Amino acid sequence: MPVHVACIMDGNGRWAEQRSLERTEGHSAGEAAVVSAVRGARDMGIQWLTLFAFSTENWQRPQAEVDYLMRFNQRILVNNGQHWHRMGVRVRYLGALDARVPDCVREQITHYEQLTADNTDMTFTMAFNHGGRSALVHAVRALMDADTKAAEVSEECLARHMQYPDLPDVDLLIRTSGEHRLSNFLLWQMAYAEMYFPETLWPDFRANHLAEAVAVYHSRQRRYGTVIHTPQDQPFNRLTTP
């Protein structure tokens, strides 16, 4: 099983356009996909699921849509937080809860993070006001604040200064809606992720699509820059096999 699956939930606007609905209706329809993905990931034994809910670039959308997305993320928590808690899911928010995030949204996030903090069945991270570059700047600031000497800066040291140092590398990235880009998502943790780009629009995504993505992941060979020998390839075997 991939340890960490991350999804870029994309295609809500197009889903709504196809139905002559407002873009916000597409976001709203995406809640069922979030619920199904969390349940599916937990049932499959995936330990870490991260969903990209709002990027540092998404502030540039029309104010009405930004406002909607803020309330919508609050609603998702209020509607599902208790249920996720009962499922043994630890809920976390990755990103800056800065002054642009309304107080009521921040309060719900803090409440559910605290409520679920000791759950161990799965960690469900919402990347919310997250940007991969901004996360790296945060880590560099944290290590400078700790008076780290240049010679002491290593990959492990930088990783320890990220917002959640325990967030593992991404094994499988899924981006729905057929777009093929990272859009500034988890840049540090994505270094060796396998990527899968289904055409499905996010509001149509369900646990069975997650299972399909995991099946594709199983068919991939992860090499990490090294050479993987099949038994026939190995010179040692050729010499010793009569």
Closer residue to Mg ion, CB minimum distance, 125 or 177: 177
Taking CB under 6 A as the criterion, the residue among 4, 33, 40, 52 binding ligand IPE is: 52
Residue 194 found at the interface with Mg ion (CB under 5 A): no
CB of 204 to ligand IPE, least distance (A): 12
Per CB under 6 A, contacts with ligand IPE among 59-118 are 69
Would residue 67 show up in a list of annotated catalytic residues for this protein? no
13 binds ligand IPE (CB under 6 A): yes
For residue 99 the two structure tokens come to 């002054």
**Known catalytic residue: 145?**
no
Among 5, 9, 10, 207, binds Mg ion (CB under 5 A): 10
Smallest gap from Cβ 228 to ligand IPE, in A, equals 33
3-state secondary structure the chain: CCCEEEEECCCHHHHHHHCCCCHHHHHHHHHHHHHHHHHHHHHHCCCEEEEEEEECCHHHCCHHHHHHHHHHHHHHHHHHHHHHHHCCEEEEEECCCCCCCCHHHHHHHHHHHHHHCCCCCEEEEEEEEECHHHHHHHHHHHHHHCCCCHHHCCHHHHHHCCCCCCCCCCCEEEEHHHCCCCCCCCCCCCCCCEEECCCCCHHHCCHHHHHHHHHHHHHCCCCCCCCCCCHHHCHHHHHHCC
Q: Of 119 and 184, which has the nearer Cβ to ligand IPE?
A: 184
Is residue 170 involved in binding ligand IPE (CB under 6 A)? no
Nearer to ligand IPE, 12 or 189 (CB): 12
Annotated catalytic residue, options 12, 43, 58, 147: 58
159 class by beta-carbon count within 10 Å (0-12 exposed, 13-18 middle, 19+ buried): middle
We find the least distance from the C-beta atom of residue 101 to ligand IPE, in angstroms, to be 14
In the complex with ligand IPE, the residue whose CB is nearer, 54 or 124, is 54
Q: Give the binding site for ligand IPE (CB under 6 A).
A: 8-14, 52-55, 58, 69, 177, 179, 181, 183
**Catalytic residue set:** 10, 58
Q: Give the binding site for Mg ion (CB under 5 A).
A: 10
